[in-house]
Chains A and B, each alone.
Chain A
């Protein structure tokens, strides 16, 4: 989808330019030029990353500013959140200046590829996207859950049959629902309704325009806490997955640096206390002295369904 958009944009501009020059463009020469340009870019990137090893002074994090508790605007109009505070701690360790750049979730790939941002660090689900980005170790175990009105009569995933289910555009929850494994469930819905932000979605839920919303559990907890009575979260999760920091594909160097500092924060307890501050301590999946790379491999290898059940059980125990 993203690639299609990019292609369309390019095509539009190209048509415009060709029309302007008033000459029929020589396809061959254009192709070779493009290849050259691509090679040049690649070269430039190599040089750039080589330079940044020594000279990096800033670290630009792209995030969705409408995604509490991971990234949002606080009481004072400052951008905060678990992920942003963590990024700040990493920058403090490395002596970088953190630049917080709010992005549109729809255009995150363009922002990352064009070099506007160094990484996407904002409750970003790695599962299913492994080939598209260079990911850090997963740091949060996330679940996609269903939130619905208390009196909706929906208690299990089966009850969603024939109902209107809302899900954020370009979100992990949407990816899950559109994946083959969930085809049966999704086709049982009356409608799968995409929306732009959670605020609108919750108003629609209250107004009865949609019956349920699929979202990340951390977000669900934040929403339910701040909205008070009237909503509930189904105990049965849709799935389980991991959050990781996404870097431009191939940017191992920056990933390693950030990961190294991240593990330092885990070992000195900063990571855990930040998680408590934002109420997501149940979901974090990095522990002191755990080997980052081993953890990553484990996570990838493990059966997600099994882990999901485990986590649910744990969560249920905690609640009791």
Chain B
């Protein structure tokens, strides 16, 4: 079964079309990377998928449950809030800027939503949070506050926070863009480990080599359309001019 299906997604900001008829699906256990130049619409696509942004047209389906669909005139209609709340529990998102809650300790950042939103057992939630922290290499920092951690540590806490919700699918929105190169490696290792555990992930990234290594499938977006969608090997051997130009630019920089 497809975990996520997006069909014919359209989105415009002030008349400028950012997404033009984009379709995308993700199956269980897949790791999908979305690459492309800035302004290509990849972040907007992620925000539409996570309901942070509303689509103008198109369909959004998680686990076969429709979150949004087109009405007769081709405009998107969303499900009732209660249903959307349920659908939100299928996925989580790791932000570029972490967006940790600064007034909560590391442990509370991770445990608050499972306790308050999912209303799970306290003991179980705490145990799971500590296991996640250990996995992130942060077992001694559970009482620290976000401002006391390095950027890499903060991003690891935010990944733990996302995982604590037990999502079926995890989105990453340029998770290493705000980090120094040496801290980037910490995060990439964590994501790599998650991939080994068959965590379903959709990653918007600029780390081409990492994307190539970790993904089952790569999507190259430019100017609001999907230019190419294929395996990493095929992508890097692509004959498409725009793909070659984009990847070439990265190779030159690297």
Q: Determine whether A and B are in direct contact in the complex, meaning some CB atoms lie less than 8 angstroms apart.
A: no
Residues of B near any A CB (own CB < 8 A) = none
